[in-house]
Structure 1
Amino acid sequence: MTAVELKDQGNRLFAMKKFEAAISCYTKAIIKSPNTPTFFTNRALCHLKLKQWEQAIQDCRHALDMDRSLVKGHFFLGQALVELGYYDESIASLKRAYDLAKEQRMNFGDDIASALRSAKKKRWNVIEEKRIQQEIALQTYLNRLISEELQRQQEMVRQMYKDTDCTEELKNIEQEHSFMF
């Protein structure tokens, strides 16, 4: 079989959702014609369907090394990168795919734009979660400092009024600090 026939067979297998078998066909096509980027992007899409993110990234990068204007190469790369948490790189790839698709007048419907929005949202969620965790840590730290200061002041009052009743002074200190919590 020729490389193109192997690719066509891989496409038929892909349509039947036989992704492993399709990968095998695309791999054989690549062996026969290693400088055809489409074979790599087709195989990358199979890897995406199988959630094999690293292999998809590798195939996309290989295809893009041969042709930087491949919309599918950037699109699939962006999809795989977002799954591994590389949000900035994913967004850059998806933005490039979106721009190239517009330049080349290719219609991907809302697929690329939707993936781009999703990647941006995931990145925002990670940043927001980190910000919230930092805020919680800061609040915990400040509460501890306030509590320690309250204890220090109470102990100081107790030391000053060793033999006398200092209940009123302690209440004043507690009241002062209660506004801080």
Structure 2
Amino acid sequence: MPKAAVSSEAEKSKLIGNDLFARGKYSAAIEAYTEARLCSPKWEVPLVNRALCYKKQGKWDKVAEDCVAALQLGSELPKAEYMLGLSFLERGDYKSAETHLQKALDLARNKGATMLDDIWKELARAKYALWTA
């Protein structure tokens, strides 16, 4: 979603969520990101940020739910693909993990993302799990 189409209330809630996340208050950050999502339902950023909070809490089903919703908005989001891949990896679906982590790697390369090392590491873990399964 173009930045101009995001409501000021949504942006404010996202910033509050970011501050809460930085302080380790993940449940409160989830509430702030949920508020941002309600204000701008077609904005994928609050979904990805909320998924990151769920990741910190180990709630892998919720991570997957938010990442799928973000990706359905039509965006190519390496971070969402990465966390979706992690959610599959943590839940033992190694083939789906490999698929989404590879997509995250491809997207991150194209966008010059800083998370390439993390993606490589988790992709290797997924491939190893597939190989040893």
TM over 0.5: yes
Question: How large is the Cα RMSD of the aligned pairs?
Answer: 1.2
Equivalence for 1:105: 112
1:89 matches 2:130: no
Equivalence for 1:174: none
The size of the alignment, in residue pairs, is: 126
1:161-176 map, 5 Å: none
In 2, the alpha carbon distance for the partners of 1:13 and 1:124 equals 40
Alpha-carbon displacement from aligned partner over 1:20-62 (angstroms, at most 9, x marks no partner): 1100000011111110011100000101110101111000000
Following superposition, the deviation at residue 5 of structure 1 comes to 0.6
Equivalence for 1:55: 62
In 2, the alpha carbon distance for the partners of 1:50 and 1:62 equals 19
1:57-76 map, 5 Å: 57-76=64-83
In 2, the alpha carbon distance for the partners of 1:27 and 1:8 equals 12
1:45 matches 2:30: no
- Calculate the TM-score normalised by the size of structure 2: 0.90
1:121 matches 2:97: no
In 2, the alpha carbon distance for the partners of 1:92 and 1:56 equals 16
Decide which structure has the larger Cα Rg and report it.
1
In 1, the alpha carbon distance for the partners of 2:75 and 2:101 equals 13
In 1, the alpha carbon distance for the partners of 2:130 and 2:23 equals 34
* 8 A contact 2:109–2:116 mirrored in 1: no
Equivalence for 1:3: 10
* 8 A contact 1:37–1:67 mirrored in 2: no
- Calculate the TM-score normalised by the size of structure 1: 0.67
In 1, the alpha carbon distance for the partners of 2:102 and 2:62 equals 21
Following superposition, the deviation at residue 118 of structure 1 comes to 1.1
In 1, the alpha carbon distance for the partners of 2:100 and 2:37 equals 24
SS class of match (1:2): helix
In 2, the alpha carbon distance for the partners of 1:81 and 1:9 equals 29
1:24-43 map, 5 Å: 24-43=31-50
1:124-143 map, 5 Å: 124-125=131-132, 127=133
Higher relative contact order (CA 8 A, sep 6+): 2
**Structure 2, unpaired ranges of 5+:** 1-7
Alpha-carbon displacement from aligned partner over 1:87-138 (angstroms, at most 9, x marks no partner): 101110000000011111222141110111111122223x2xxxxxxxxxxx
* 8 A contact 1:10–1:25 mirrored in 2: yes
* 8 A contact 2:52–2:63 mirrored in 1: yes
